[in-house]
Chains A and B, each alone.
Chain A
């Protein structure tokens, strides 16, 4: 067996095909929705996919254990990016989220999602002798996670900040928290949150919401949610057909190439299409979890679990928002929503997972 044969044999082709299937559906929908507004979006997305595949190959080839050594440099890079974007970032509708990198815009907050995973997995590696963390151990990661989350909130980008926080919590849980600590933290969080929220006056709550996320006005998001629900529901069993979605084609559906792109899938391809897409996503997440399970070290496992959480959270929040069971927050749909940084990170994650999957055969 040649070295190359071994490489290709042990690549998880199932995972790659699943991603390609999702990408294909995504491109169909992006074409359909960008056609009416700006077809350039579609070609930009194609370009980003090519760049992302290259990035994935890099993420695949370089041994993931390198990340153990580069966790801190990456963390510093992330925090610098998040600070930089607040200073020199492009301001779009009241939020500074993008850094201009030549012709391309980069969202450091997207990068943060995966760097937090790596950093937490690295941190867990340092503390792997501890069976279940207590409050004392949790102070450090809480602090280091709070820094990027806080910076993202300042941008502001409520959705991304929430995702970063949730991924971190999930990973900490999987790394192991003392049962007693977990229960007391849970009780504290559950009892504290409504108390804090309801002690606020209406206008204060509104002010907090608009402080965190001024780019979305609450009335406007109601309109978005309604139009999105109409799009999804009117798709019916088999959908209206490619390029036939009236909600999309007539621009009733806002943000239809970014946050609400799932509605395009559901409208044009119906329940059949959206169920198929859900199936692909379940397959994707399950495969990542399985790879994590079989990884040869705890670091790899944690990265896989973190990435599974990363995809699951995006999927669930995005789709739940499109079908009206979650408030409208800016969370994109993996591999489908338009957006360069997000696409790049998605593929890098896949690259890392393939890397972890492949390297368990290398001893």
Chain B
């Protein structure tokens, strides 16, 4: 039987044999093609497809970490978190983009094209949900929620949103959050803790404490099917919430300063002179930092950016002003400290001072007569300080200023501080290609001329004088250690003279700041009025007749109590007019609030003069 097994049928002729062979060869070719292709796909490119398969089914969702709160020195909340709803979409899971975009646009009251654009953009990072809208209203959330089952890929995330409880009243100190920029994102590299659309501190405390506040994102890895439905969670790492940051700011003083400044352009800095702790930091005009959390309309952004008053600038650390008469305190301290004058030395003020061909006027035309140092401070006698300026010379003045911390950032935690300017001979030569003139030393001594300071620098320098010479770096974070930069060791009797003069500014009958005298606490201070436009006398009775832009800047710094001061406040009101009339009441109000909050005086009694 086996003999017949391989015998072809009798009808098989050569032609059919040949055709059958070709047919078989063809079949083998087809199978070879399949086999080679399978070999290539499964063996040589297997890992490539394996990666594709993994992306197909594994979704990694990051769980945002709750940002730390920002608290004031009494643990009162300044920057809080409140619950919010974000509208998210997984672009890969959206089957009908235009229909979903249309329905969402109607609910969100935005352009359909905008949503389509965002979904398209999101596809560049596969399987990453995209935030279509942040912080949607409860009503919007509810109406989307009811349609959610007809919109695959769309989801609503319950998250928390920053809430700056004081709104514009603490904007510059706290700073604000904004979406991370592409450049920042690139700087972090591949291991970036941020994803596009994440919020990051853009300025102020939010920026300097970003790493503390941020926390660590959690991750949820789960398996999905082709419809994007969760099958099961493979792994989960809970987010680590950010740590709270405690500031040295006192919310009540901050509010008092804002209230007192009342929206006028300027800045207020309150500081504890013996420790360098900032108690209040106000810059005006301000802005609502909450606006920056969600993408703002180009109009709003333009309005803020192009505002001629520059509301985004923190004037307390970035506003550079001529110091005016406030500077005289520094000259007095220097002259005493270096032995160029004794407390009892008197200078005759006839109302002007001549040096060579030039005549320098005292603000009081009729002159102050014979004045000693304390009186000169109290009455802000210009001639007395012209004399000191000439005697000291610019080299001593500038070197002392630098010792005290002028001409460079104060060292507060903020990184965007400006340095101000301390003029020197070298600087003048370099800047103007001209040698230093003696007359320039004279006007420098009364705080006019080239010198530029920020309000915080004045707070630091004046603290350094009233605390007896300890130059302490200002700080706004409770966690920052106190740094004493140097100690000038102002002798006690000399300090007493300065303090006496400054106390008399407020308390003596002829003091320039007598209008703010308050019987319930002792207070010292110094006025300053800076001419913005030369040629106008700054001593017009009523500056409100002048155009705003050419009105004088009003300075005042005050401290209390006079012996061992606990609080020192610097205020500047741009184009405010005279320091005594405009800036001094702001300082008084903050110091007043300080005593109210300490329970030393009764709030009811003192809602009077402003």
Contact = CB atoms under 8 A, between A and B. Distances in A.
Top 8 nearest A-B pairs (CB, nearest first) are A233-B49, A234-B53, A236-B46, A271-B42, A234-B49, A252-B226, A233-B41, A250-B225
A286 B20 CA distance: 11
Contacts of A89: none
Contact of B16 (A170, A233, A254, A301): A301
Contacts of B23: 170, 174, 289, 305, 308-309
A254 B227 CA distance: 11
Interface in B40-89: 41-43, 45-50, 52-54, 56-57
Given A250-B57, A296-B9, A323 B225 contact: no
Given A229-B49, A234-B52, A266-B42, A294 B9 contact: yes
Contact of A9 (B1, B11, B45): B1
B476 to A, nearest CB: 53
Contacts of B41: 229, 232-233, 323
Contacts, number: 144
A297 B10 CA distance: 7
B37 A325 contact: yes
Interface in A255-305: 266, 270-271, 274-275, 278, 281-282, 285-286, 289, 292-298, 300-301, 305
8 contacts: A174-B19, A230-B52, A233-B48, A234-B50, A236-B47, A275-B35, A282-B28, A297-B11
Contacts of B33: 320, 325
B57 A246 contact: yes
B291 interface: no
B42 A237 contact: yes
Nearest to A236: B46
A361 to B, nearest CB: 7
A312 B38 contact: no
B187 interface: no
A270 B38 CA distance: 9
Contacts of A9: 1
B20 A293 contact: yes
A234 B503 CA distance: 84
Which interface residue of B10, B27, B43 has the most chain A CB atoms within 10 A?
B27
A278 B35 contact: yes
Nearest to A274: B38
A297 B226 contact: no
B296 interface: no
Nearest to A292: B20
A207 interface: no
Contacts of A227: 56, 226
A170 B26 CA distance: 11
Interface of B: 1, 4-12, 15-16, 19-20, 23-24, 27-28, 30-31, 33-35, 37-39, 41-43, 45-50, 52-54, 56-57, 223-227, 231
Given A174-B20, A298-B9, 11 more contacts: A173-B19, A232-B42, A232-B49, A234-B49, A250-B223, A271-B38, A289-B23, A293-B12, A294-B5, A301-B9, A301-B12
Contact of A319 (B1, B8, B34, B225): B34
Nearest to B53: A234
A32 interface: no
Contacts of A252: 56-57, 225-226
A233 B42 contact: yes
B3 to A, nearest CB: 12
Contacts of B19: 173-174, 176
B16 A251 contact: no
B11 A298 contact: yes
A70 B35 CA distance: 40
Interface of A: 9-10, 170, 173-174, 176, 227, 229-237, 246-247, 250-252, 254, 266, 270-271, 274-275, 278, 281-282, 285-286, 289, 292-298, 300-301, 305, 308-309, 312, 316, 319-320, 323, 325, 360-361
Which interface residue of B45, B46, B224 has the most chain A CB atoms within 10 A?
B46
A289 B47 CA distance: 38
B453 to A, nearest CB: 67
A192 to B, nearest CB: 23
A233 B50 contact: yes
Given A301-B16, A361-B4, A323 B34 contact: yes
A285 B50 contact: no
User: From DSSP, what is the main secondary structure of chain A's interface residues?
Assistant: helix
A168 to B, nearest CB: 15
B50 A236 contact: yes
A234 B42 CA distance: 7
A182 to B, nearest CB: 11
Contacts of B24: 286, 289
A282 to B, nearest CB: 5
B9 A235 contact: no
A147 B20 CA distance: 28
Given A266-B42, A274-B42, A230 B34 contact: no
Nearest to B56: A252
Contacts of A236: 42-43, 46-47, 50
A295 B15 CA distance: 16
B231 A316 contact: no
Nearest to B8: A293
Which interface residue of A230, A232, A292 has the most chain B CB atoms within 10 A?
A230
A305 B20 contact: yes
B59 to A, nearest CB: 11
A274 B34 CA distance: 10
Which interface residue of B47, B48, B50, B54 has the most chain A CB atoms within 10 A?
B50
B10 A296 contact: yes
Contacts of A170: 23
A174 B19 CA distance: 6
A285 B27 contact: yes
Contacts of A289: 20, 23-24, 27
Nearest to A235: B42
